[in-house]
Homo-oligomer: A and B are copies of this chain.
Amino acid sequence: METNVVIETLLSHRSIRKFKNKALTEDQVRLLVESAQAASTSSFTQSYSIIGIDDPDIKKQLRKIAYDSDYVEHNGYFFVFVADQYRNKVIGEEYRKDTSALDTTQRLIVAFGDASFAAQNLAVAAESMGLGICYIGSIQNDINKTAEILQLPEDVYPIFGMAVGYPDQDPEKKPRLPLDIVFHRNHYNPKPSSNSLKAYDQEVARYYQTRSGGTREETWTGQIAGGLEMPYRKALKPFLEKQRMGLR
């Protein structure tokens, strides 16, 4: 199957966790945000916002929350994507409407989707410009603090950050699950091929060996199983309730 430059860009994705000391220009930032905005939005609600962070002090504060990851502070630019019902609530209030539908699970799912489509468009646009990106879900590690730093009102949820910048590393692409494991035909297939999974485990083990210079021994299924024993970010559900999102 013939590909094209867009698909090549998508297939070349690697997360970048070390950036050159070079800030994005205002023009670059605007083009990235415009690319994000062009993504689909459920029922045209545009239920998300993007917060652009170039204040070094705010980056430093977010870094502390996000496992003290250096690349949250040192990058070309930092974005935070928030599910945003606040803007539409204010509009509803101006029209003197009952805005209570905003606290439904339906609206929560819509807002998280809108934010995620926009974010992924921004990631693709950045990579097409020769920039690297890394999603930072760990801004949720202390979600109340993150909300305080970004001065988020009710009805807003900070889902993830994204560090963007000029790559200062050239990591290998991380292997993805075999297509037949992720892709189902007409119905959900609850019994994926165990041979496929075994082959993938070997591929991931080889990837970690290379990436770590031979010190890391890990399979994908082993990593997945290990992670299941550690529930974390227990503040997320109470935070959603505090924000009045997804209540019913």
Contacts and interface: CB of A to CB of B under 8 A. Distances in A.
A45 to B, nearest CB: 7
A150 B217 CA distance: 37
A202 interface: no
A28 interface: yes
A106 B232 contact: yes
Contacts of A116: 112-113, 116-117, 120
Interface in A94-147: 94-95, 97-102, 104-106, 109-110, 112-113, 116-117, 119-121, 123-125, 127-129, 133, 135, 137, 140
Q: Which 9 A-B residue pairings sit nearest by Cβ, starting from the closest?
A: A6-B128, A116-B116, A95-B225, A101-B231, A120-B120, A1-B27, A106-B233, A92-B228, A105-B237
Nearest to A230: B101
Interface of A: 1, 3-7, 9-13, 15, 27-28, 30-31, 33-35, 37-46, 48-55, 58, 82, 86-92, 94-95, 97-102, 104-106, 109-110, 112-113, 116-117, 119-121, 123-125, 127-129, 133, 135, 137, 140, 150-153, 156, 159-160, 174, 176-177, 179, 181-188, 190, 192, 197, 220-234, 236-237, 240, 246, 248
17 contacts: A6-B6, A10-B38, A33-B179, A39-B123, A40-B135, A44-B220, A46-B182, A51-B184, A51-B187, A94-B225, A95-B225, A100-B231, A101-B229, A106-B231, A106-B234, A112-B116, A113-B137
A176 B44 CA distance: 9
A195 B110 CA distance: 27
Nearest to A173: B38
Contact of A113 (B9, B100, B110, B160): B160
A225 to B, nearest CB: 4
A35 to B, nearest CB: 5
Nearest to A240: B105
B91 A6 contact: no
A16 to B, nearest CB: 11
B34 A98 contact: no
A55 B185 CA distance: 9
Contact of A109 (B120, B159, B229): B159
A34 B7 CA distance: 9
